[in-house]
Every structure is written in C-alpha cells, then in structure tokens.
Structure 1
Amino acid sequence: MANEIMKDELVIKRRDLMLGMAAGGAGMALGLRPGASFAQDASSEMIRSHGYSFFGDLQYPADFKHFDYVNPNAPKGGEVSLSARGTFDSMNRWASKGQSGQFSGLVAEALFSRAPFGDATPADSITDSYCHLAEAVEYPKSKEWCVFHVRPEAKFSDGSQLTAHDAAFSHNLFLEQGIRSYARSVKQRISSVEAIDDLTLKATFVDGISRRSLISQVGGTPVFSEAWYKETGERLDEPSLLTPLGSGPYVVDDFEINRFIVYKRNPDYWGWHLPVNVGRHNFDRVRVEYFLDETAEFEAFKAGEYTFRVENSTKRWATGYDFPNVDKGNVKREELPSGSPPSPTGFVFNLLREPFTDLRVREALSLAFNFEWVSSSLQYDLTTQRHSFVQNSPLEAKGVPTGLEKTFLESLGDLVPEEVMTSEAVLAHTSNPDTVSDRRNQRKALRLLKDVGWTVDSNGKFVDADGKPVAFKIMLSASTSDTVEAMITTYVQTLNKWGLNVEMEKIDSAQYAQRYYDKDWDMMYFRNQTFFSAGTGLKQAYGAETAVVSSYNPQSLQSELVDAIIDGALDTKSREEEEAALMALDRVLRYLRIQIPSGYVADHWVAAYDMFEHPDDIPPLALGELDFWWFNQEKYDALKSAGVLR
C-alpha cells in the first residue's frame, strides 16, 4: 500500500483502468458455426483454452471450481459502505472530462474476467487471464490472431442478449471516443475486429510486432450494449449521469451528486454460475459516501456513517483510532499483508517543462527531499524508503547488472550509458533525520546545479545559464491529506532555503484532475505504474510514442533507451528473460530519476466495524474487500441492537 495517496489520485488511477488494454480486429473467415474451430488446415497448431497466459502456464485447470483464495461458501447479503473525498459530476467512468463517481466503471465486464471494483483477477497470479463473457479463446501458436467464443447465456443488466457484435462495437467505440494514447496504441497493433456471428469475435494483430499481451488486452476490453448507445445517443468521452449499459454483477441503484452512490448486487445477474465468480461479489449493496475534507470524513467513520476504511494516513493510524468504538471492540483494526510492490508514489517531474529536462537538475532537486525527517516527524516512523518501481519483488534491480539482465542490456549497445553497466542500481539518498535540510545533500545539489550553469543572484536566488530566474510550482488538490500537504510544504521550504523560487499551488479537485490530463503543471505528488510483466501497456506508461498525450505517463517520459528496453522485453521468449528485461527497466527508470520516491507501508491498514469477514490468507495481488470479503449478519445485528450503527 503506497503511503498517503491522495484521493484525487485514486480517482485518476481508476480512470486509468484501460492501461495496457487494447481491442482487436480481424480479417474474417465467414460462415463458421458458433463454437467451431478455426484451425485452417491439418498442419496448423491451434490452441483452444479456458484462459490465456503468454507462456502457456495457466495456474487453474479447465475444470477449476473457484479461485483458491476465495471462500466458496461465503454468504451473500448485507451492505458495506466506504468513503470518497472530493466531488463527482458524472457516472460515466470512461469520460475524458469531468470527475466520474467512485467505482462507476463496475457495470461493465470483459471477455476475460475482471473485478468490478478494480482488483487484480485472479489475485494470485500475475500473468493469467480466465474466460468470462467468453467461454473459450482460440488462437494459433503464432498468435497472429485470436478468436473469442462468447457465452450464449451472457446478458446485459436489462436482460438483453450480449453478443460478439457488442464486443466489436465496444472495441471501435474506444478507438473513436476513448483516450487518445490508448486509441493510438491500439490502432498500431490491432489491424481489425469483426463479429463473425452473434457468438464469435475474431481479432487480428499487425505483423512485425510483439504479440505478448495482445490476446489478454483484447480480452480485457469492457463490453457495452450497442443498442443502448444508439437509443440514448450517449458518448463514451462525455460526462453523463447515465451509466453505460453493461453486464456486471452490480448495477447503479441510487446516487446524489457529491453526496453518495449506492451500487446493488443484481439478483438476475447472468453469471453467478461461473467458476470465476464463486465466492465473490458477496455484498448486496456497496455504498460510497462523499466528503469534502478528511476531518469530516474520519468523524463520519467514528460515528458509523460508513463502515469500512482502508487507512492511508500514518498520522491517523498512529493516533486517530482511540475513540470508544475501537476501545469497545466494535471497530476492528487489522494489518493485512500485501504481496504487491508498493505504488511508485513520489514527487513527479513534468519533463515537458524546464528546468526538469536536465537529469542533473532532477537529481539536485531530489536531494532536497528528506525522507528520514518526514518519516520520523510526520509519519510516526511507520514508512519505509522506496528505491524501486517494483520494490520488494524479484524484478527489483540490485547492485551492478549481472546474468541475464547484463546480457539484455549489452544487447542494446551504445544506447546504454556506461555508468548504468558499471554502477550499482540507484538508491534513494539518505538524509539526516534530525534536520529538515541536510547540509551534506545541499552541498552535493549545489555542485550539480553549478555544473548545469546555474548561479545565485544578488537576492540569493538561483538563475539559470541564461540569467533567467528559476521558478516552478508544485500542484496539489484541495482534498489532499494533511500529512501529504505538510510533506509538500516542508519540501517547498527546503527548496526555497536552498535558493530556488518554488511555490505550492493548491487547487480544487476538479481543476486538479483536468490540469493533470492537460499536462498543465510543473511538479506534483503522484504515482507511476508498477509492472509485473511485459505488455504493450508499458509503452503507454513509459514509452515516447504517446508520452505527450498519455495520462498513464505523467512525466511525459521520452527516452530512446526506455523504448528499446520495452521493445526488448516484449520480444523475450521465457519468463526468466522477461524478468531480466523488466529488471533493466527498473534500473534505467531509477537512473533517469524521473521521480523523487517517497516512503511506503508494506501492509494493508484496515479499520472496519466488526461485521465483515475475509479468508484467512489474503492473496498477494489484492486486499479484495469489495471482491471476496463477506458480511456477517449476526455481528451486524448485535452492533445494530447496541445502537452502534443506525
């Protein structure tokens, strides 16, 4: 769990659900009956499966009954309520404008299984995808194309039939009205898509590119009702209070702008029988309560106005849970293990703007951040310094390159700077925890800035090599937590003390989100994407191809070396080679200093009224509180009768 993540960032993160997804198309062989094989001759080596993994090593067999981490006998029922901070003006999660309601994308499913509330599915495997709207996926060993066989029982939430035509329509809708970087990436990799009949969809991939993730990306595209869009005249890219018609286990029940949203479990949902759904989607209702500030938000939790909280404030976790319902055992606190790398959160540079284009400047500005002081003075020593974009995983680069990673980097030739090959992987600097401004780091930073050509004017402020005053702003949202704001304030004060003219710019959450997408900012406290495997989504997250328009690449990083690493990772032939390439990516991103890393908390911090239960073993890739936890009616009744809950 990343420490102190801003609520607006979480909204943006969920809007970025399309990261790595692409929809596909095909040149069509006509006249095949539903479910027919697409083997074209006896020599074609075809694969037909209940799921997909690039290396062909699916964890669950075709006859699996449920995911290992769920409770197949979990009871259905009850309500879980959570909080959101800020505002919303739309229930269309895919709109590129406005602020969508929390979880408003849960209505849609895909050909492969997805979690309505955004968790990994399955939550115990990095590379696996399992059929959902599709009952099977079929493809040649060459992966030049793939075919999805849609389940005949699949229905939209209004009871209408879901077909391959809807899947093809949805693919094209994302190309026409989706986020630009996504559409551009898809068009360069997917040549065409077409429904052959009501239950058969074929996607064909462009020649000469890696096919590593294209099948799983096609299978991950949300499917909407074509008829609904035609009847309503709605657009995917425009804010709307109408939610696109999907087929998921939850539907929108009620909402009031900026106050609450209620989702209800659809009793007529078509897919309860699927093994991917057993033990999941257990709550009858999921309620989201909105608050303008964190003080009101937390007071509402203490009063029982909402019942479940994943805590992201070190200050509150250390000092805030001393109210009566905790003392009486009505509210239970848990620290649950997380097997995922912490989100790469920290101070992010906009590389489209000066002075951040110079690596030496980025390194110097990094040295002004004192993690040790922040952790001890603002975060109660509950955080750990993060060094890597894949911290605590086998992909984390350490020491100098060796073995397969060294071989991979050597294959890239002169693109790789000598110091990347001969120096140890960049680690976050250390600082004196007893003072905000570390003099040793200040001296090192000043030497770097002198090398860039900066000098100090008569007012004690830096000017660049052209004599222009150095000034920039750090943007944050009005709904940012007090701890994060204090951290940013302290950092700004240190930079100003060192002779830079830096301001903190606090704006409302809607403006914050729009300016983020427009790249209209200098620096902000945000996050990058972590990565588990090589997929074309890496190009959107770190590649130059769509950097200027990609909301997944906040820095707008454009590096020939990073592009070459991503291409090489996509061409690897084994998991061992893939891991080596991703380790090289981690090493180079750290070398480029595209972000000043902040600390992280290794566990999930959960506070909830004592009426929710979960499996004994939480899977490594998801907490799953809205996915595979369940409601204990007896415990709820006891809390209700005691007057703890209204």
Structure 2
Amino acid sequence: MLLIAGQGRAQDQEESQKIIKSHGYSFYGDLKYPEDYSHFDYVNPDAPKGGEISLSALGTFDSMNPYSRKGRGGALSTIMYESLLGEGTGGELAPSDVYGEEYCLLCESLEYPESKDWVIFHMRKDAKFSTGDPVTAHDIAFSHNLLLDQGLQSYAEAVRKRIPKVEVIDDHTIKFHFTPGISRRSLIDQVGSVPAWSKKWYEETGARLDESRLTASPGSGPYMVDSIDVNRRIVYKRNPDYWGKDLPFNVGRNNFDRIRVEYFGDENSAFEAFKAGEYTFRVEGNSKQWASAYDFPKVQQGYVVKEEVPDGSPPTPGGIVFNLGRDVLQDKRVRQAVALGFNFEWTNESLQYGLFKPRASFTQDTPLMAQGVPEGAELEFLKSLGDVVPPELLSEEAVMPHGSDASRLLDRRNARRAMKLLDEAGWQVGDDGMRRDERGVPLRLTFLLNSSGSATLSAVVENFMLNLRAMGIDAVLEKVDASQYTARERDRDYDMVYDSYASFLGTGTGLAQRYGSEAAEFSLFNPAGLASPLVDAIIEASLNAPDAELEHATLKALDRALRYEFFMIPTWYTDSYWVAYYDQYEHPDAQPAYALGQLDFWWYNADKAADLRAAGALR
C-alpha cells in the first residue's frame, strides 16, 4: 500500500493529513496482494474458458429483481452486477484466501485520509455495461441513492445515518462523505460494494428497485441473462464483450460460457434429475442422501465425482430460531425448555448418519469462539461496559448445547429439566396433559417449514415436535409451499422457523443489522427480532476498537452474549462442502479457505465432457 503525504480534502479540516492511496482496502491497511499482482494465488491462471455448469434450485421464482421484498427473486439474479470493490461470482469473497480485504474492480484506485472521513474512488474509464454504455460515477451515485430511496428499509436507515453525502467530482471520480463522530467501520467497504446499475436504463424504462419484474437491468459483469422460463429455468451466458476479462482481478476466474439453473418442486425430484443428468453440479445439504444415496451407477462407473471440499469459513449459524416478538417466547425459561426437546445426538445418529458435529457458537472453531468463563482482554472489556452486562456473564461458562441420550428420542433427564422450567415460567400441566397459563390459555407453538425443502429436515422437525408435545406443549407444524413460506418468513408469521444468521470473523455495521436493536422489528437479516442492550453495547464497542487485539476481544464477547440471549437452538455443522458433479469440472489443488468457488474459479474440461457424452452419461 502506498502512503502519500498531502492536504486533507474534507472542507472542515484545515490541517494536513496523510492521504492513503491504494489499489484495495482493508480497515487496518494490510493487503496480501501488491499493486502489481498478476492474479490471485489460488486460481489457475491458465484455466480454459468454455462449457456450461448447471445447478438446481427449489421452489419458484417470479422476479429477476432480488433487491425488493416483493416477489421471489430468481437464483443468481445478482450475478450481472459489479461494484467498485469486487466480489466473487455468485457473491462469494474475492479474493477467497483472505478475510477483510477488497480490491478494485470498477475502480482503479481509491484514496482516503487516515481519519477515514471520506473516500474518493477513481474509476476505470473502460468499464462498460452489457449495453455498451460506459459505467460512470453518475451511475454509482444513482445506485447508492436508489438503494436509499427504494431499497430495504433496514439497509436504508442504517446507511443514511452513516453516509450523508455523495459527490460526483467528474465522470470517473466519486467521493463519499461519512458522518462525523461515528465508527469508521464498514463505511469505505460499504460504498465500495454497492451494485452498479445503469442510470440511463432506469430513467428510460421507469423501472423501480422496489418492484417485482422479470426484466433485469443491464450490468457490467462477465455474465448476462440469456433466457428465462419462469419457475423452470434461468440461463446466464458470458458477455462476449466483457470489458474486464483481462484484469488481474479476473485472471483464472469466470471460466464458464453458460451457467444454467434448473428449478424443481422438491428436493427428491431435484436429486433424481441430477442422477439423470438434467443438471451437472450439486452441493448436497441432506446428510441422509450424502451417506446413502450416492451409490447409483454413474458414481460407481466414475462418471459422477463425489467429493468433500474443505471449508475454512466459520459454519453458518443455522438452527431453530425463536420469534422473540411472540409474547409466549419472551420468557427465556420457555425458550430453554423448548430447546431441551431437541435431541442432537439421536437426530445425528438416527437421521443424519452421524455426519455432523453439534454447533455451539456463532464463530464456531475460530479464535473468536467464546469458551469457558471470560478471562484476559475479553473479561476486562466486559467489565468496562458496566451494568449492561449481567453478573452471571462474567462468572459463568459460555452457553453450550445440552447433551442428550442418543439411544432414545426423548431424553428423560432433559424432559424433567424442561418440565421444571415450564412450571417456573407459569405453564402448569392440566388434567389433559396440556400446559396452560393462569388464564387457562394453552401453550401453543407453531413451526413454519418450507414443504419443498429437505425430507431429512422435515423428519428432524417432526421428531422435535413430538418431544414438545410430550412436554404438554401444543406444538403445530405448518408446512407451506415455497412462495407462502417466503411471504410468511418476511412477515415473521411464525413462532419458530429453521433459519440462520451470519457468522463473523471481523466487526462491521452489518452486525447491527443482523443482531442489533436498530432494525430488529423489520430486518430480514434478524429473523428472531433480537433487540438486546447488551448486544448493542458490544457491537458499538467493537466498531470503535482501535486495534485488532481489542476487536477480537469484543467479538469473542459478542459470541458469548449472543449465546446468552438464547434466541436460537443451535443445531449442527460440518467443516466440509459436500459436492457431487459430473466429471467434466476441475478446480485448483489449493482450495482457498473462504469459498467453494464452483462458479468463480472452477473450470470446464472439454475432453472429459466429450468422454461423458460418448459413454452416454450426458446428453
């Protein structure tokens, strides 16, 4: 990174500041790749271009605008769009071998003062939309403002407070000003990641960002929409005139000519279609299928490869999420009792072939995972927050999942603990075995489930509900189709749902959107509606951490606090991707830690594909 002495550019600054000018950005200023890098270390720079990769999607879609609450967006419908600081194809990290570093794509450089009060992006003059129109600073400013005016409310409210002004200096130079007195976290990377949309197209068509529509606005990326068959298929094709194909950022990447997504009504039909060769790449999420169903002839004959690819990212914090907006679930004792009805050990052995580990943490198996009682820098940090920290958080071990008897679905010891908690919470057992409050209202909980999802997940939930009923809870499983599920999930029309939050390896304002009170009532990224002063205080402190050591301490404390708040029953995880694919794809030997990258840096082997067709394995 190059440091250049110069005058502070912000109008309210009179003293000189050191101006940082660079080809990429990280908060602490460290970048793995130098300005003259030729390609990312993990890619094959000689990877051939060509061929097709095809994937599956479940359910339906009725829109190619994924930025609106209205409609159900098509798979990969963000793939056409680039930003000033680049990302991987399909939204993965790029580069995928480092965390917290971003590199110029639509920009060629950026500059900002040490105070990070503003940032200027100098854009590439050769960047073009698929229409041939240039991508300019006017398009970036338009896109930024469009998200504020017509985008998701939680996003718009958070950004307005932090980024009060955007200034187009000239056609290829844009400046963002940041609110004084707030953390500088997630500001430069935030504005650098805004999708670039064509101002000209939106103005000419009158299209809106908050509408459902099947017409996709043009992007500047390597792929563009080829064809759409609603609820059946979406095909993306390489833009033959893609402006950025020779950039070091893109060397060895974006290798397929076509990306095809086939839609199916349920998991079973999707799997059968893969066996038949209707699509060619599958990321398996069903442990039963992974363990027992990949013995079909094409696997035995070597036409289909079954592979476990290491995953270095912290596992997605998935599990059974409580809707904290429901009165019945606001008592933590009720949530703890309900959690005791989940038997991971029996579920894993009986339904999932013992392939999973129990997940405890939001930063599982990383140095940020809280363990034992707080000590050292984490303890000192928690003490500094004062009365917002419950005393038990300082003296008790981090919350861990309960253990259960793997030999029987209902663990009697856990059931007794659950019964005691429900009694203490005022839910007494009546003569009919049902639990009611003092008014006689039964303890009723509904679990919302997508009927097109995994049969194994359905079995897991059904058995969990059996245990709840054994406790005297009127547990109701509501299976709905994909479109109803999407609508009800957005409206939080459930008591419990199987969902996930985002893991974290660093701090940022995205933590407030996902875990904070700021947008808890409506944020799509906070399905529990968690609103905790304790969590808010930790996030705020993490955003203002002056160095990496304190940042790590705050994030370990955040993991501890999230587990303490108990808004989710953590379920399971694996540290590998389970993938199966027709033997016509290849990937680098050195897999990067933070992405599978099948759309990004894998490639097509035409000779192998010809062999598959000659053998009749593929049409």
TM normalised by structure 1 equals 0.93
Say if 2:596 is the partner of 1:629: no
Amino acid at match of 1:45: K
SS in 1 for 2:579: strand
Aligned counterpart, 1:61: 34
- Choose the corresponding residue for 1:558, options 510, 513, 531: 531
- Choose the corresponding residue for 1:360, options 309, 313, 333: 333
Amino acid at match of 1:566: I
Question: Is the contact made by 2:446 and 2:495 (CA closer than 8 Å) also made in structure 1?
Answer: yes
Aligned counterpart, 2:543: 570
Aligned counterpart, 1:241: 214
Aligned counterpart, 2:234: 261
Amino acid at match of 2:496: M
Paired with 1:115 and 1:341, the residues of 2 have a C-alpha distance of 18
Question: Is the contact made by 2:6 and 2:16 (CA closer than 8 Å) also made in structure 1?
Answer: no
Aligned counterpart, 2:321: 348
Instruction: Output aligned runs, 1:386-535, within 5 Å.
Output: 386-535=359-508
Question: Is the contact made by 1:156 and 1:245 (CA closer than 8 Å) also made in structure 2?
Answer: yes
- Choose the corresponding residue for 1:280, options 221, 239, 253: 253
Question: Is the contact made by 1:338 and 1:622 (CA closer than 8 Å) also made in structure 2?
Answer: yes
- Choose the corresponding residue for 1:92, options 49, 65, 70: 65
Amino acid at match of 1:287: R
Aligned counterpart, 1:119: 92
1:112-136, Cα deviation, whole Å (9 max, x unpaired) = 0012312112111111011110111
- Choose the corresponding residue for 2:278, options 292, 299, 305: 305
SS in 1 for 2:177: strand
Question: Is the contact made by 1:452 and 1:465 (CA closer than 8 Å) also made in structure 2?
Answer: no
Aligned counterpart, 1:77: 50
Paired with 2:549 and 2:437, the residues of 1 have a C-alpha distance of 46
Instruction: Output aligned runs, 1:126-275, within 5 Å.
Output: 126-275=99-248
1:252-302, Cα deviation, whole Å (9 max, x unpaired) = 001100111110111100001211111100000000011111121111111
1:37-66, Cα deviation, whole Å (9 max, x unpaired) = 874478221111111110111111111111
1:165-219, Cα deviation, whole Å (9 max, x unpaired) = 0000000000011000000000111111121110111111111110121100110
Say if 2:17 is the partner of 1:44: yes
Question: Is the contact made by 2:322 and 2:528 (CA closer than 8 Å) also made in structure 1?
Answer: yes
The gaps in structure 2 that reach 5 residues or longer are: none
Amino acid at match of 2:40: F
Paired with 2:521 and 2:596, the residues of 1 have a C-alpha distance of 33
Paired with 1:497 and 1:70, the residues of 2 have a C-alpha distance of 54
In the alignment of these two chains, the number of paired residues is 611
Paired with 1:153 and 1:579, the residues of 2 have a C-alpha distance of 40
Paired with 1:445 and 1:503, the residues of 2 have a C-alpha distance of 18
Amino acid at match of 1:319: S
SS in 2 for 1:449: helix
SS in 2 for 1:201: strand
SS in 2 for 1:436: coil
Task: Pick which of 533-542 and 112-121 moved more.
Answer: 112-121
Amino acid at match of 1:295: N
Amino acid at match of 1:355: V
Question: Is the contact made by 1:38 and 1:138 (CA closer than 8 Å) also made in structure 2?
Answer: no
Paired with 2:483 and 2:16, the residues of 1 have a C-alpha distance of 57
Q: Which has the higher contact order (CA 8 A, sep 6+)?
A: 1
Say if 2:342 is the partner of 1:369: yes
Amino acid at match of 1:604: Y
Amino acid at match of 2:449: L
Q: CA deviation at 1:339?
A: 0.2
Aligned counterpart, 2:311: 338
The gaps in structure 1 that reach 5 residues or longer are: 1-35
SS in 2 for 1:279: coil
Paired with 1:578 and 1:163, the residues of 2 have a C-alpha distance of 36
Aligned counterpart, 2:356: 383
Amino acid at match of 2:109: A
1:412-455, Cα deviation, whole Å (9 max, x unpaired) = 11111111110111110000001111111111111111221221
CA 1:161–1:422 in structure 2 vs 1: closer, same or farther (change >3 Å)? same
Q: CA deviation at 1:594?
A: 1.0
Amino acid at match of 2:255: N
Paired with 1:150 and 1:369, the residues of 2 have a C-alpha distance of 53
Paired with 1:295 and 1:128, the residues of 2 have a C-alpha distance of 39
Paired with 2:41 and 2:62, the residues of 1 have a C-alpha distance of 39
SS in 2 for 1:105: coil
TM normalised by structure 2 equals 0.97
Question: Is the contact made by 2:6 and 2:18 (CA closer than 8 Å) also made in structure 1?
Answer: no
SS in 1 for 2:99: coil
CA 1:73–1:42 in structure 2 vs 1: closer, same or farther (change >3 Å)? farther
SS in 2 for 1:230: helix
Question: Is the contact made by 1:105 and 1:116 (CA closer than 8 Å) also made in structure 2?
Answer: no
Q: CA deviation at 1:360?
A: 1.2
